[in-house]
Amino acid sequence: VVVDIGAHIGRYTIIASKRVGASGKVIAIEADPSNFEMLNRNIHLNRLANITTLNYAAFSKETKIKLYLPYEELGHTIYNTTMVLDRAKANDKFIEVNANTLDDLLQENGIEQQQVNWIKIDVEGAEFEVLNGATTIISKSKDIALLIEVHNLGGGTNLYRSVKEFLDSFNFKIEFEKTYDSGEKHIIARKQQL
């Protein structure tokens, strides 16, 4: 089972679906309703039957959160959204969206935590919140890897240290790391067997 958190319009979801094939499953989670609609359209156009889509924000608890829509992009079909207030500008609009833990979202959709092999997280600064809501999956899955886009927050704060400490506490080893000029990092971490 592959979980795509921050699925956007489905580029990664579609690749993952084709990669796991008919015997695999992809769970695509996208908070933004406009992106979610486009995600479902792209899945339909590609005739993919092994994907479940959820219009939620993966988070550290069940709640409603503000999803900020950058002012300069309003009116476009696809938004570059952020859930983190520090990154929002004063003139950004927001919508309220449902949020829940990844542990709960998967359980409610009949996915056994230990079945999850791969999680991609691209949530514009809410990475640590997502990880904190996935502790059951991360602790129960024996063979699991994570692809995380670790973003910067306002004031130059980087979540990397918090994410790395979290991964270390669950016995993950970073196998790949790339740092971009913006300071954003992409990492792949795999759980080590004891």
Find, among 92, 81, 77, 70, the residue nearest to 42 by Cα. 77
**pLDDT tens digit string along 25-81?**
999 999 999 999 999 999 999 999 999 999 999 999 999 998 887 655 443 333 345
**pLDDT tens digit string along 51-66?**
999 999 999 999 999 8
Please report the pLDDT score of residue 183 as a whole number.
82
Mean pLDDT of 172-182: 93
**pLDDT tens digit string along 128-150?**
999 999 999 999 998 999 999 99
Q: Is 75 strand, coil or helix?
A: coil
Banded model confidence at residue 194, pLDDT cuts 50, 70, 90: confident
Secondary structure element (H or E) that encloses residue 97, with its range: strand 93-100
- CATH fold of 2-59+102-191 reads Rossmann fold (3.40.50)
Q: Average the pLDDT over each of 44-58, 88-102, 170-184 and give the range with the smallest value.
A: 88-102
Please report the pLDDT score of residue 125 as a whole number.
84
52: left (phi over 0), alpha (psi -120 to 50) or beta: beta
Domain boundaries, the chain: 2-59+102-191
Query: Residue 158: is its pLDDT beyond 80?
Result: no
CA angle 149, 108, 25 (to 5 degrees): 60
AA letter at 34: S
Q: Name the pTM for this structure.
A: 0.89
